């Protein structure tokens, strides 16, 4: 996997001292859900269609906007600050993944991922796992497809929840959907593993020196 690193400044984030970095696989991008979201989508679309034939660029761009904009809007409605999407996959199959990152308040006595686990407010298989950002409560839920997902036959959700300080919970949610096809389970699991690798790379950093690092080969974010 060839990653690029994307550090995230603290603006709109978990707090004035809670910037973070995340390592993205090649072909995955991160978009903001708040101010600047529309511009970020436009920039991404222009990049993706830049090498398309001139007479098809507009149609392809419009199709991409129709696909990406609702995902960003849904993440915004869920109070997520960022959404991470694969825009290039090494397979052409009806399966997709998206990842959102957001912050929610918690009772002041919730001071760790272990406290979240003990509280028992989980929906599925849950355990505490070690990550660069500290212990996270990991939950895996296999849920029925939504009514609007007519062709989707499987939907799995994985969440990582951190407590960077008492009363603050940062939640990363990975959603993988697929239709029924030969090998769909293996592809879904591969997307889940890749998405969890992204979530597992999150680490808090000093927001006073935000820097964006991108490269094609073996580069990762630095605080």
What CA–CA distance (Å, rounded) separates 4 from 27? 9
Angle (CA) 181 186 191, round 5°: 105
Q: What is the pLDDT of residue 116?
A: 76
Answer yes or no: is 94 within a domain: yes
Residue 23 CA: distances (Å) to CA of 52, 54, 213: 28, 33, 10
At residue 9 the predicted structure's pLDDT band, cuts being 50, 70 and 90, is very low
The pTM of the full predicted model, rounded to 2 decimals, is 0.75
Could you tell me if 175 and 188 are in contact, meaning their C-beta atoms sit under 8 angstroms apart?
no
Note down the domain range covering 160. Answer: 3-22+84-205
Q: pLDDT, tens digit, for every residue of 181-199?
A: 777 788 888 889 999 999 9
CATH label of the domain that carries residue 103: 2.60.120
Q: What are phi and psi of 77, to 5 degrees?
A: -65, -30
Average pLDDT, the chain: 77
31 within domain boundaries? no
Number of domains in the chain: 1
128 within domain boundaries: yes
CB 202 within 8 Å of CB 21 = yes
Residue 34 domain-assigned? Answer: no
CA distance 70 to 76: 10
Cα 191 from Cα 90, distance rounded (Å)? 11
Strand partners, 104: 169
Please classify residue 112 by burial: count the beta carbons closer than 10 Å to its beta carbon, then call 0-12 exposed, 13-18 middle and 19+ buried: middle
Reported as a pLDDT band with limits 50, 70 and 90, residue 145 is low
* 60 or 148, which is more confident: 60
Determine contact, residues 162/104, Cβ cutoff 8 Å.
no
Segment among 66-70, 151-155, 192-196 with least mean pLDDT? 151-155
pLDDT value, residue 174: 94
Residue 55 placed within a domain: no
């Amino acid at each position: 996997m060839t990653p690029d690193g994307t550090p995230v400044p603290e603006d709109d984030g978990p707090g004035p001292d809670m910037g973070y970095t995340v390592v993205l696989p090649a072909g995955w991008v991160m978009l903001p859900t708040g101010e600047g979201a529309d511009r970020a989508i436009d920039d991404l679309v222009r990049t993706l269609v830049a090498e398309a034939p001139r007479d098809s660029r507009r149609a392809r761009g419009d199709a991409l906007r129709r696909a990406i904009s609702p995902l960003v809007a849904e993440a915004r409605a869920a109070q997520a600050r960022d959404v991470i999407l694969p825009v290039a996959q090494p397979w052409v199959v009806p399966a997709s993944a998206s990842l959102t990152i957001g912050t929610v308040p918690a009772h002041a006595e919730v001071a760790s991922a272990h406290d979240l686990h003990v509280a028992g407010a989980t929906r599925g298989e849950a355990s505490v796992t070690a990550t660069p950002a500290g212990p996270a409560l990991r939950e895996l839920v296999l849920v029925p497809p939504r009514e609007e997902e007519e062709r989707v036959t499987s939907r799995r959700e994985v969440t990582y929840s951190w407590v960077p300080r008492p009363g603050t919970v940062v939640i990363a949610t990975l959603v993988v959907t697929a239709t029924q096809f030969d090998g769909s389970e293996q592809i879904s699991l591969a997307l889940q593993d890749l998405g969890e690798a992204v979530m597992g790379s999150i680490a808090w950093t000093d927001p006073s020196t935000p820097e964006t690092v991108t490269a094609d080969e073996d580069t990762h974010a630095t605080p």
